Amino acid sequence: MYHGPYDTAESHRSMTLLAVKDLTVSVRSGANTAPIVDGLSFQIAAGRCLGIVGESGSGKSSVALAVMGLLNAQALQVGGRVELGGADLVALSPAQLRARQGRDIAMIFQDPGSSLNPVQRIGAQIIESLRAHQKVSRVEAAQRAVEALTRVGMPDPKGMMRRYPHQLSGGQRQRVMIAMAVILKPRLLVADEPTTALDLTIQAQILVLLKDLVRETGMALLLISHDLGVVAEMADDVIVLYAGRAVETGPVAQVLDAPRHPYTLGLMAARPDMDHPQSRLAPIPGTPPRLWQRAAGCAFHPRCARASAACSASAPPDVAVGPGQIAACFHTGAQGALQVPA
Amino acid sequence: MTQPLLALSDVSVTYPGQAASGLFGKPMVFKALDGITLALNKGEVLGLIGESGSGKTTLGRAIVGLVPVASGEISLNGQRVTNQQGAARLPFARAVQMVFQDPYGSLHPRQTIGQTLMEPLKIHGTVPPAQMQARVSALLARVGMTPNFAARYPAQFSGGQRQRIAIARAIANDPALLIADEPVSALDVSVQAQILNLLADLRRDIGLSMLFISHDLTVVRHLCDRIAVMYLGRIVEVAPAAAMAARPAHPYTAALMSAAPRLHAGAQARAPIILTGDVPSHSAIPPGCPFHTRCWLYQQKGRPARCHTERPPLASLPSGRQSACFFPDETQPAVTA
């Protein structure tokens, strides 16, 4: 069983809002089962941001959807516990879960264009989601919608209420999604690649907005991203996910200053650095494994420069490599060929 | 002065827009590219960077002839190639090749990799039939793949491998210039580095000149010798990559560099520049400097009238740089320690 970085002693430091314990999401085909997410545990305290970073197929979006209770129960099997304020969301009935979705936990997605109803005005959509959870009059709901649009920095919030999604830019649509998400003052916001579809200068605006909202409202933010840089700028803590497992976790500054898992090191070395140009990048050989082709033992070993016989024989243990920092690797102490970029 | 490999002179590309007013009103015309003048030297890797709607993709497509050029001239090795058609275009089509963003859409799904790689060889008749197989094997080896892959179909390959195949196809006839439009944007970080290294190797080994189009400033900074920055269909700054990274000469470039996420917050003392608002629509390009509506320097300088009345030309600065800003010496944001 995996022990998250904030188990026991650490968890008393601050109030844990979300506790995910041994989360497993698997898909079955015939007699075979493949785990998309494989025994993941973590906690988030109120007012904190946890970043989950991983490449395609790492299972990061499935974690977000599992926390939201949005996975299709017929197609996928979800195991483990997702505790929000003590209650296990996995065990709730669909009706009980629906009452919490939006109110306690809200989510924003990568593509704000497909999350909005194209034939309904922005205002009507925000009012509808508000009135689905709270008994408020239409007039009051409209007033709060304008307030929410103002808070997320929309130009001309009153005029925006009457517009349709196609009249908005990508950045404005994501602001509308954020307004809809925070209007009910959720305790947890799950953001799955919230800026990936946006231009760089718009991404910077949205990240600042999310940061401000976390600080002001004290909500917790679960940020899913493929971009280590975005997680570095936003998160307090990070989970590096590979093939459904946490390979390295810890405070984000510490993990990036002293990464101990070869995959974390590899991700950093493969990334061009704006301020310290490298003459040559150090790519990780191969490609991220497909779901049905994950290697036995440590799933990363076929691409790993440090791999030994032990790595293919059994899953590596979780090794405490620093204060609150854990790496799931047999060779955390070894100095491999990979170097952290200066 | 030596002749550049590729020269664009005052190139504009227009798209028809919606009808302006009434049924018989004159249709509006969008200028996707507005007076682009740019040169690419032999052996050079030139980066072209901009956000959505900046015109960077249109520029790449205009060069290879995928969109018609409305005005201006494009020349390759001094030969005018603007809007060439049919057989006259063949030598140019051989000399300039393109790699696209989506490695899933750019390969024929029902052709083997071997067939895909032979096609350009057959079209231009560059390799005798008896040597086709050997040439295909050599091309695959060149991009880091084994010869037995020639018998397989695209579906059997990952995104990174498909992009290698697309590059092999592009270099099949030893082109003088490769235009790569976001070639690594669809790839995972670990795979992206493999393709960037491959492009760097090709440049070193066969002297390939390249126009590298991307939205990702860190990638462009890594690979390119010089960078051209585009905004709303115009070039706003051209400079050697290292010089631009050290000191941008346009406030938009400074904002882009500031917005690029860093792994280490304290890596470089910098004041983050957050631009307000969105990129304006092509149908309502602001008067004066098109960037002034979002410009931090314009605000900082107390909104000089010149910025919103007069369009700054792309002017040459000392040290071979160009900037379309009236205040190229003041574009370095205040550094916070």
DSSP B19-43: E-SSTTSPEEEEEEEEEEEEEE-TT
Rounded to whole angstroms, how far apart are CA atoms A33 and A53? Answer: 24
pLDDT at A128 over 80: yes
Task: Report pLDDT for B334.
Answer: 61
Rounded to whole angstroms, how far apart are CA atoms A311 and A167? Answer: 53
Task: Report pLDDT for B25.
Answer: 67
Q: Would you call B89 exposed, middle or buried from its count of C-beta atoms within 10 A (0-12, 13-18, 19+)? A: middle
Q: Give the mean pLDDT of A66-86.
A: 88
pLDDT at A340 over 60: no
Q: In which residue are the tokens 């799931």 written?
A: A328
pTM (2 d.p.): 0.89
Q: Among A55, A201, A284, select the one facing B256 at the smallest CB separation.
A: A201
In chain B, what residues touch A232 (CB-CB under 8 Å)?
A: 261-265
Least CA distance to A154: which residue of chain B?
A: B277
pLDDT at A333 over 50: yes
Handedness of CA B57, B62, B65, B66 (dihedral sign): positive
In chain B, what residues touch A288 (CB-CB under 8 Å)?
A: 188, 190
Q: Among B245, B255, B261, select the one facing A233 at the smallest CB separation.
A: B261
More confident residue, A242 or A288: A242
Q: Give the mean pLDDT of A197-208.
A: 92
The verdict on a CB contact (< 8 Å) between B262 and A233 is yes
Distance from CA of B73 to the nearest CA of A (A): 30
The verdict on a CB contact (< 8 Å) between A287 and B188 is yes
ipTM of this complex > 0.90? no
Task: Report pLDDT for B208.
Answer: 93
CB pairs under 8 A between A and B: 128
The model's pLDDT over A249-303, given as tens digits with 9 standing for 90+, comes to 999 999 999 999 999 999 999 999 888 888 889 999 988 888 888 899 999 999 9
The verdict on a CB contact (< 8 Å) between B190 and A284 is yes
pLDDT, averaged across chain A: 89
Tokens of B46: 């030139």
More confident residue, A242 or B86: A242
Task: Report pLDDT for A28.
Answer: 87
Least CA distance to A168: which residue of chain B?
A: B278
pLDDT at A57 over 50: yes
Tell me the DSSP string of B65-87.
TSS--SEEEEEETTEE-TT--GG
Name the residue among A311, A258, A134, A193 with its Cα closest to residue B263. A258
In order along its 337 residues, chain B shows pLDDT tens digits of 578 999 999 999 998 876 556 666 666 788 899 999 999 999 999 999 999 889 999 999 999 999 999 999 999 999 999 988 888 889 999 999 999 988 888 999 999 999 999 999 999 999 999 999 999 999 999 999 999 999 999 999 999 999 999 999 999 999 999 999 999 998 998 899 999 999 999 999 999 999 999 999 999 999 999 999 999 999 999 999 999 999 999 999 999 998 888 888 654 445 578 898 888 888 889 999 999 999 999 999 999 999 999 999 999 998 789 999 999 999 877 654 3
The verdict on a CB contact (< 8 Å) between B275 and A281 is no
Task: Report pLDDT for B166.
Answer: 96
Q: Which residues contact B236 (CB under 8 A, 6 or more apart)?
A: B229, B230, B250, B252, B253, B291, B314, B323, B324, B325
Q: Give the mean pLDDT of A78-97.
A: 89
Residue A231 CB coordination number (10 Å): 26
The model's pLDDT over A3-56, given as tens digits with 9 standing for 90+, comes to 444 444 444 446 899 999 999 999 988 888 899 999 999 999 999 999 999 998
Tokens of A31: 């007699």
Q: Give the mean pLDDT of A127-135.
A: 92
Q: What is chain B's alpha carbon radius of gyration, rounded to the nearest angstrom?
A: 21
Distance from CA of A287 to the nearest CA of B (A): 6
The verdict on a CB contact (< 8 Å) between B265 and A253 is yes
How many Å separate Cα A333 from the centre of its chain?
Answer: 28
A274 interfacial to chain B (CB closer than 8 Å) = yes
Angle, helices B159-170 vs B113-124, to 10°: value is 20
B28 interfacial to chain A (CB closer than 8 Å) = no
A55 interfacial to chain B (CB closer than 8 Å) = yes
pLDDT at A206 over 80: yes
Spatial contact of B187 and B166, defined as CB atoms under 8 Å apart: no
Residue B252 CB coordination number (10 Å): 31
How many alpha carbons lie under 13 Å from residue B215 in its C-beta half-sphere?
Answer: 18
The verdict on a CB contact (< 8 Å) between A267 and B191 is no
Task: Report pLDDT for A94.
Answer: 87
In chain A, what residues touch B272 (CB-CB under 8 Å)?
A: 204
The verdict on a CB contact (< 8 Å) between A228 and B189 is yes
Residue count (chain A): 342
Spatial contact of B133 and B139, defined as CB atoms under 8 Å apart: no
